[in-house]
């Protein structure tokens, strides 16, 4: 029964989007859909993931800077910047 499903994934930042859940319902549970549903879900999922990425970069600026530097970017923190907010990494 769908009401008994529980998805304990991702913690605070990396939870599935509504679009992920809707695709699960269509693909795995056989829920009806209309033409174009995949495109609509893909567009919504991209918006969600970009929003999540921005939030993660804001919280883990050192990690983001290191990845950018590995890819040839020049990155320097502004004076007084709060560079890490790691409490979200271990929360449920």
Tens digits of residue pLDDT in 34-78: 999 999 999 999 999 899 889 888 888 889 999 999 999 999 988
The range of the structural domain enclosing residue 31 comes to 14-73
In a domain, 1, yes or no: no
Predicted confidence at residue 7, as pLDDT, reads 63
Per-residue pLDDT for 2 more than 80?
no
In a domain, 25, yes or no: yes
Cross-strand pairs, 84: 60
Average pLDDT over all residues of the chain? 84
- The phi and psi torsions of 81 (rounded to 5 degrees) equal -70, 140
What pTM does this model have? 0.71
In a domain, 6, yes or no: no
Two structure tokens written together for 9: 């994934």
How many domains does the chain fold into? 1
Q: What is the mean pLDDT of residues 77-86?
A: 78
Percent of the chain clearing pLDDT 70 (strictly above): 79
Cross-strand pairs, 64: none
């Amino acid at each position: 029964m769908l009401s008994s499903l529980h998805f304990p994934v991702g913690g605070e930042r990396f939870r599935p989007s509504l679009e992920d859940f809707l695709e699960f319902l269509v693909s795995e549970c056989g829920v009806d859909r209309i033409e174009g549903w995949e495109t609509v879900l893909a567009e919504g999922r991209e918006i969600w993931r970009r929003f999540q990425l921005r939030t993660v970069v804001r919280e883990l600026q050192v990690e983001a800077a290191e990845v950018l530097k590995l890819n040839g970017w020049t990155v320097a923190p502004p004076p007084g910047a709060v560079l890490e907010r790691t409490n979200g990494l271990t929360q449920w």
